[in-house]
Chains A and B, each alone.
Chain A
Amino acid sequence: MSTLRSNQGKSHLARVEQSITSMQVPRREEDVQEFQTFYQENLGLIYRYVYSKVGNREEAEDLTSQIFIKAIRGVDTQRGPQSIQKWLFQVARTTIADYWRVYYRVSVNSLEELLEGGWEGPAEAEPAIVSSRPTERVQCILQALPDHYREVLTCRFLLNLSLRETALRLGLTEANVKVLQFRALKRAADLEHITTGSR
């Protein structure tokens, strides 16, 4: 008995009572509406987040589907929509973490460096999904880059120019461009923490 009166027990008792009183016949229409709203509000967020991590449409769609399905299966619907959204984001983060683990395998020796180097990997802060759209983060970083780095990345990623087209446009050899884009992305990675404050 005393266990039930403790703080932990109280919340359980409260939850049980709540679930009893809310156990009315589910109003199907409202349920469907609620879900549709939730879906419309969150699909874009999740999809863009995932895309910014995997870089291609096919995997972005696959993972987005997985995330929503996992989230729906495990959700505690007694909670409000904000709490459910939090749960959705949590599922998204762990799903991406699993993806990282498979495709960004880092050699075991580098594990220490991994942590020291501030590699984000699995433990990402929540703001990453909610606050800034990937497009905005990219703009931020671009502004902070030196001209030649900004130009090459704009060509390859925003304008989608090929290696050859980029080389022509910048007046460089293709070999130069390969080196330049490599260093530009490296610098961008360094800047990411500074400009967007993500850690």
Chain B
Amino acid sequence: MSDEDQERFEDYLELEQYIEQLQAGRVAHPPAELTPGRANIYRMAALFRSASPESGEPRPEFAAELQTRLEQELQQRPKVAPRALKPEKAQKKGLQVSRRALLTGGAAVAASLAAGAGINHVVEQARATPNQSSDPYAGRIIASNVPTTWHLVTALADLGDKAVRFASDTIVGYIIRDDGDGGDPDKGKIIAISAACTHMGCIVQWHDADRKYHCPCHGGLFTEYGHVDAGAAPIRYLRSLPRLNTKVDSGNVYVEVPVGQGSTSTKTWQ
């Protein structure tokens, strides 16, 4: 046993305090900066506390509340459009496009898959951090310890009411002005979203005609601000397109993206 684990008077006091808090049913935390030996003692106390007769099972009210909340989460997924034809059409379209794309699209599909794979990893990281649970976009796409750079997209004066695509080394996306018609708190700001479809990573395509982003692969459909559209193919648990930070500097619009291997200037995406 190391010297650090010599028993001290404070040890007994602190432990007693911890036990009393547990018994009182309050939130309890061990003292900070514990040695491994001491940390184990507190872990044991928590474990033993859980064996007490009153601690075993979840409260019925809690269980019910959580169940309701989870069902709400499930229902936030896209509903099938009431127009019975639409889903079928999307299905068929998806079928043809993806088969054709796979059989003939070759390089383009492989490239988007590669892009998708890269972005998914970053998204997973972002998801894994303990998060604001009510945020519909489930946090930012880029984890906090990832080095980033500001990528120039276009001049502010050139940004009308359409989405403008950008492609950096690491992210392909769109920027668009938020005119607040979605009741969105970001009204007036410039919104940037990742164009990687949250289904399997294909690059979604903005259509001026309906002002939506269409995924060429399986019928994913997103509104102008990246929300899942009601007309999207019934893909389970399709999520909104993740957002990126933007800034306007000297009349130019920039988006914050992870640093890539190459230069930071705009590159055309193959």
Contacts and interface: CB of A to CB of B under 8 A. Distances in A.
Interface of A: 1, 3-4, 12-13, 16, 19-20, 23-26, 31-32, 35-36, 39, 43-44, 47-48, 51-61, 64-66, 68-70, 72-75, 77-78, 94-95, 98, 103-107, 110, 113-114, 117, 119-120, 134-135, 137-139, 153, 156-158, 160, 162-163, 175, 178-179, 181-182, 185-186, 188-189, 192
A68 to B, nearest CB: 6
Contact of A138 (B48, B80, B239): B48
Contacts of A120: 43
Interface string B20-48: 11110111111011111101111111111
Contacts of A182: 7, 11-12, 15, 41
B261 interface: no
A70 B127 contact: yes
B27 to A, nearest CB: 5
B149 interface: no
A103 B102 contact: no
A35 B70 contact: yes
Contact of B62 (A3, A61, A66, A135): A61
Interface in B40-91: 40-59, 62-63, 66-67, 69-71, 73-74, 80, 87, 91
Interface of B: 2, 4, 7, 11-13, 15-16, 19-23, 25-30, 32-37, 39-59, 62-63, 66-67, 69-71, 73-74, 80, 87, 91, 94-95, 98, 102, 106, 110, 113, 124, 127-128, 130-131, 133, 138, 200, 217-219, 233-237, 239
A20 B15 contact: no
Contact of B4 (A74, A77, A110, A156): A110
Nearest to B22: A55
B127 A26 contact: no
A178 B16 contact: yes
Given A19-B218, A43-B58, A56-B27, A105 B36 contact: no
Scoring B2, B32, B39 by chain A CB atoms within 10 A of each residue's CB, the highest score goes to B39
A65 B35 contact: no
Contact of B71 (A35, A53, A119, A163): A35
Contacts, number: 214
Given A20-B95, A178-B13, A55 B41 contact: no
Nearest to A71: B70
B218 A13 contact: no
Given A119-B36, A119-B40, A157-B52, A185 B16 contact: no
Contacts of B69: 65, 69
Interface of B is mostly: helix
B94 A23 contact: yes
A192 B36 CA distance: 15
B74 A55 contact: no
A72 to B, nearest CB: 5
29 contacts: A16-B218, A20-B91, A23-B235, A43-B58, A47-B58, A48-B56, A53-B47, A55-B45, A55-B49, A56-B22, A59-B27, A66-B130, A69-B133, A73-B73, A73-B138, A77-B236, A94-B128, A103-B30, A113-B4, A117-B40, A135-B50, A137-B47, A138-B48, A157-B51, A158-B52, A179-B12, A185-B15, A185-B44, A189-B43
A23 B218 CA distance: 9
Contacts of A163: 16, 20
B118 to A, nearest CB: 15
A23 B235 CA distance: 7
Given A26-B80, A137-B47, A39 B52 contact: no
B25 A57 contact: yes
Nearest to A120: B43
Contacts of B138: 73
Contact of A43 (B15, B42, B66): B66
B237 A44 contact: no
B2 A113 contact: yes
A95 to B, nearest CB: 7
Given A55-B46, A55-B49, A106 B39 contact: yes
A104 B58 contact: no
Query: When A and B form their complex, which 3 residue pairs have the shortest distance between CB atoms, in order from nearest?
Result: A55-B46, A189-B40, A138-B51
